[in-house]
């Protein structure tokens, strides 16, 4: 199979080549993102392999379909960047990696919580400069705090199990309750109840028309003063402008994000020698109680292994015309 891989970093190529011996695919790796302009690079390819910030809209799909592409292989769980109707109309199948390491993302969410709370990143920098003062480094106990979890799929459920170990009370919201979590002592409530009761709010839901900007001016208004908000799912779950306003008024006491609404123009790139043009990300970086990582929650050896293996298995199933169990319909 001829596979065009977009948004490729050195580690993507490393892992695909590591597992390709059993598949003997012919890869073309492109650092550029897939969009309607770069779609011409798919000429002669059977499959396009894309990541979270590739733009697989109707215009892109029309080009790749004309080039003979029959499968869009996502190397991620989310598929909000793919126009499924357009793909279907062109006879192109879409497959994803629904579960690659829920522990990786859930553990990163906890890392954001602990770092924001105990300010270990600031303490590290201080001590490196010979400053051993504890001034402004005070945190709070997680024990007995109420943690709200929006979305209790595999990642959200794993996060609940981890945070339960800290002695937290957990209230969750999802369209379907998880029986295992209920037995663990997690309680489910309405979305408004989760917003109102949470000391810490962690987002683990997919991005769709129902969840876009689920954290906004209205929902922030009902939250506790000084709430901590953590997002390791999709950037557009949070209305950035409203979050900035919440930080200014101190309604939001802490914000930890691994994803960002406009991240496709920033994340995964070294911009240290450039002037960043995104005013909202610059504003967020100016707050001492905001912690931003660049979509690295998934980035563990175990997750990269599983992402690569599952992506290659999806492509093999398509090639062999067998059941494509991870097809998105």
Whether 157 is covered by a domain: the verdict is: yes
What are 294-326's pLDDT values in tens digits?
999 999 999 999 999 999 999 999 999 999 999
Provide the domain count of the chain. Answer: 2
**Same domain as 276, residue 143:** yes
**Same domain as 284, residue 146:** yes
Residue 154 above 90 pLDDT? yes
- Measure the CA angle with vertex 298, ends 124 and 41; round to 5°: 120
**Same domain as 130, residue 89:** no
Whether 327 is covered by a domain: the verdict is: no
Residue 22: pLDDT band with limits 50, 70, 90: confident
**Same domain as 182, residue 280:** yes
Here the CATH number for the domain that contains residue 25 is: 3.40.50.720
For 272, counting Cβ atoms within 10 Å of its Cβ (0-12 exposed, 13-18 middle, 19+ buried), the class is exposed
**Same domain as 84, residue 139:** no
SS3 73: strand
Whether 326 is covered by a domain: the verdict is: no
SS3 149: strand
**Same domain as 309, residue 201:** no
Per-residue pLDDT at 265? 86
What are 30-79's pLDDT values in tens digits?
999 999 999 999 999 999 999 999 999 999 999 999 999 999 999 998 89
Residue 100: pLDDT band with limits 50, 70, 90: confident
**Same domain as 91, residue 122:** no
Q: Within a 10 A sphere around the Cβ of 86, how many other Cβ atoms? A: 17
Per-residue pLDDT at 23? 87
Whether 329 is covered by a domain: the verdict is: no
**Same domain as 220, residue 83:** no
Residue 124 above 90 pLDDT? yes
Residue 277 above 90 pLDDT? yes
For 270, counting Cβ atoms within 10 Å of its Cβ (0-12 exposed, 13-18 middle, 19+ buried), the class is exposed
Please enumerate in sequence order all residues whose Cβ is within 8 A of that of 296, keeping only pairs 6 or more positions apart, or say none: 108, 258
Question: Measured between alpha carbons, how far is residue 150 from residues 52, 83, 176, 188 in Å?
Answer: 21, 25, 11, 10
Its pTM surpasses 0.95: no
Containing structural domain, residue 89:
2-100+300-320
Q: Which residues are identified as catalytic?
A: 234, 263, 295
**Same domain as 259, residue 116:** yes
**Same domain as 16, residue 26:** yes
**Same domain as 110, residue 86:** no
Q: Within a 10 A sphere around the Cβ of 241, how many other Cβ atoms? A: 14
- Residue that is written with structure tokens 């339960």 in the block: 164
**Same domain as 125, residue 82:** no
Per-residue pLDDT at 242? 98
């Amino acid at each position: 199979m001829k596979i065009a891989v977009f948004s490729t970093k050195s580690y993507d190529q490393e892992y695909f080549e590591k597992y390709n011996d059993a598949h003997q695919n012919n890869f073309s790796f492109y650092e550029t993102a897939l969009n309607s302009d770069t779609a011409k690079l798919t000429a002669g390819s059977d499959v396009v392999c894309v990541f979270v910030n590739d733009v697989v809209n109707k215009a892109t799909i029309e080009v790749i379909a004309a080039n003979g592409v029959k499968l869009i292989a996502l190397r991620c769980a989310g598929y909000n960047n793919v126009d499924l109707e357009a793909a279907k109309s062109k006879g192109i199948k879409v497959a994803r990696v629904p579960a690659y390491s829920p522990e990786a993302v859930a553990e990163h969410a906890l890392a954001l919580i602990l770092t924001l709370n105990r300010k270990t990143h600031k303490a590290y920098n201080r001590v490196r400069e010979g400053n051993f003062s504890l001034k402004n480094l005070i945190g709070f106990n997680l024990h007995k705090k109420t943690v709200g979890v929006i979305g209790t799929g595999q990642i959200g459920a794993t996060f609940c199990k981890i945070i339960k170990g800290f002695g937290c009370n957990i209230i969750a919201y999802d369209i379907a309750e998880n029986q295992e979590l209920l037995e663990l002592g997690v309680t489910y409530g309405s979305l408004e109840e989760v917003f109102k009761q949470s000391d810490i709010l962690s987002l683990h839901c997919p991005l769709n028309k129902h969840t876009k900007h689920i954290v906004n001016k209205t929902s922030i208004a009902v939250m506790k003063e000084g709430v901590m908000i953590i997002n390791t799912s999709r950037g557009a779950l949070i209305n950035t402008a409203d979050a900035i306003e919440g930080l200014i008024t101190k309604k939001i006491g802490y914000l930890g994000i691994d994803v960002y609404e406009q991240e496709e123009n920033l994340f995964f790139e070294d911009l240290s020698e450039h002037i960043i043009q995104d005013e909202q990300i610059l504003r967020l970086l100016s707050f001492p109680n905001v912690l931003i990582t660049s979509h690295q929650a998934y980035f563990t050896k175990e997750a990269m292994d599983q992402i690569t293996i599952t992506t290659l298995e999806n492509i093999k199933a398509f090639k062999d015309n067998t059941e494509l169990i991870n097809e998105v319909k």
